Amino acid sequence: MIENILFPVNFSPACFAMAPFVQRAAAVLSAKVTLVHVFDPTAHSSFELYVRPLPEVEEERRNLAQDKLSSFLVSEFPPFHNARALACGDVATQICDFARQRRFDLIVMPTHAGRFRRMLLGSTTAKVLDEADCLVMTTQHAETITPRPLEHREWVCAIGLTADSERVLRYAAEVAATAHANLSIIHAIPGDPALPVQFDLEEEVQSAESQEARQRLDKLQRVVGSQARTLVAIGPLKQALLEAARRLGADALIIGRSPEAGSFGRIRDLTYTVIRDAPCPVLSI
């Protein structure tokens, strides 16, 4: 299902830190990796234009970008086995267009913007999440955490029991099967935000609402053909997802994006703070 992975790079420490996660994804999925760098040909000073003509300045910037790309992470992704591509223009737009035109199955990238911009969904990663047609895997903590051992494959999928839930679970089940990963489902029932998240595995949390949710999840799994472990939590969605990921030692948290793109499209269904605070990479479908 996932044969080609696109790894956008901008030569930042976050990209260096993300390399092991890309390598792990490629190994787990037996996929090929292509590195792409997008540069801005207009990022020059007035002094440069005063000294040299514009075409010469732009050509020099292109050559410098190509040289950096050719020498970046060579040991991790040998050029003989991993293609490298250069593009110019708006970073997010070029990444999504490149992924669409070349039919990439998965984009893996870190988050780059500062905390304030992430809250406003203004980062390049947020734009890619909103515009990309394929799966996107991101992680905010690439520089502070390391991938789990290759044989550790515990994935958690958030299911909200909406009209889009079947699509999300079907994708999650198929990708988990491809990766030979153990898949668990987490569903959150809104509760008092002042109280800690509780799971229905605990006797005191058993309720008619949680039992009904389990029945609907079981029915959904039968439709999809999935046999994932199911957890139902009482509490805020974000906290429930993060707690489930920690409890299960997840090395991937799967969440859904709306099938519709645009300014009020895919990203509206994504709690962006989950990506910011998750203890593992987040795969958005």
| pLDDT 10s digits, 1-56 | 799 999 999 998 889 999 999 999 999 999 999 999 998 776 655 555 556 666 77
40 shares its domain with 123: yes
102 shares its domain with 38: yes
175 shares its domain with 67: no
- Residue 213 lies inside a defined structural domain of this protein: yes
93 shares its domain with 163: no
pLDDT(83) > 60: yes
36 shares its domain with 94: yes
Q: Please report how many Cα atoms fall inside a 13 Å half-sphere around the Cα of residue 87, on the Cβ side.
A: 21
- Residue 281 lies inside a defined structural domain of this protein: no
18 shares its domain with 106: yes
18 shares its domain with 97: yes
Tell me what pLDDT residue 263 has.
47
User: Which runs of consecutive H residues, i.e. helices, occur in 72-189?
Assistant: 91-101, 115-119, 124-131, 165-179
A 10 A CB-CB count for 119 gives 13
159's enclosing H/E stretch is: none
pLDDT(172) > 50: yes
Tell me what pLDDT residue 199 has.
83
Domain that holds residue 160: 154-250
**82 is written with which tokens?**
């991993």
- The strand order across the sheet containing 198-199 reads 84-88, 32-39, 4-8, 106-110, 135-139, 282-284, 252-255, 154-158, 182-189, 229-234, 198-199
Which of 139, 163, 195 is the last residue before a domain boundary? 139
- Residue 284 lies inside a defined structural domain of this protein: no
Cα 273 to the center of its chain, rounded Å: 13
What DSSP designation does 267 have? G
**229 is written with which tokens?**
């472990």
235 shares its domain with 196: yes
Task: Read off the pLDDT band of 217 (50, 70, 90).
Answer: very high
Which residues does 101 contact at the CB level (< 8 Å), separation at least 6? none
Which residues does 45 contact at the CB level (< 8 Å), separation at least 6? none
93 shares its domain with 116: yes
pLDDT(115) > 60: no
Report the largest interatomic distance among the alpha carbons of the chain, rounded to a whole angstrom: 76
Which residues does 182 contact at the CB level (< 8 Å), separation at least 6? 153, 154, 155, 176, 229
Number of independent structural domains in the chain: 2
Tell me what pLDDT residue 60 has.
81
91 shares its domain with 9: yes
Q: What is the rounded CA–CA span in Å between residue 161 and residue 220?
A: 9
Which of 91, 116, 139 is the last residue before a domain boundary? 139
Tell me what pLDDT residue 129 has.
87
Residue type, 44: H
**What CATH number does the domain containing 16 carry?**
3.40.50.620
Q: What percentage of residues in the chain have a pLDDT greater than 90?
A: 53
Residue type, 236: P
Which of 76, 108, 139 is the last residue before a domain boundary? 139
- Residue 55 lies inside a defined structural domain of this protein: yes
Tell me what pLDDT residue 51 has.
61
45 shares its domain with 80: yes
- Residue 40 lies inside a defined structural domain of this protein: yes
160 shares its domain with 117: no
Out of 95-99, 221-225, 265-269, least confident range: 265-269
Tell me what pLDDT residue 42 has.
67
- Residue 266 lies inside a defined structural domain of this protein: no
**57 is written with which tokens?**
């300045």
